[in-house]
Chain A
């Protein structure tokens, strides 16, 4: 069972370059999320999607964009990377945004911007 798949696992990127982190889930979950995790800080929500065709901004959306063309895929794009975007990025999904169930996380994408 794949669950949530993220790619790439890790990436080194030059500042100013663009990058898309891919996220695919096979659980037919309606809600999907992108978080970043930095040392000493809690997970911070970048963008979310409650259902295919809709997206919303989280706590730290600047410099990032997302799309949700279908249920399974939720890519995160950095249009022009900056060093402060160095982080571990987690994609997650849940059956719905208001469900009492858990979030299912991908294995993470470690991004270094130089």
Chain B
């Protein structure tokens, strides 16, 4: 079966750095996405990786290792507004997105 694993919840301190991991087992691979979802709101796109390596976008970076079936989202200089759930999703060989259950990130002052 297809599976996306990510931690259920993480806590970090304002101003710090946090890394949210995602491991996947899917039928084929056509890219990995990270989305941010604030409570009661719609998911919004953060990043896309299809090749191995690090993609940096401001305070957020996303890393992919296809051989390990592994990705992480790195958030730097954490702000209170970063409190949200972070969703990892992999596009499989049929170009359908398989979603993880999301990681709820709690930022403390």
Which A residues are closer than 8 A to B by beta carbons? 40-45, 48, 58, 90, 97-98, 100-108
Contact = CB atoms under 8 A, between A and B. Distances in A.
A58 B31 contact: no
A29 B105 CA distance: 32
A98 B33 contact: no
A103 B48 contact: no
Contacts of A43: 43, 87, 89, 97, 99
B13 interface: no
Centre residue among A97, A105, A106 by max chain B CB count within 10 A: A105
Highest count of chain B CB atoms <10 Å: which of A43, A97, A105: A43
Contacts of A107: 41-42
B50 A58 contact: no
A42 B50 contact: no
A90 B44 CA distance: 12
A100 B31 contact: yes
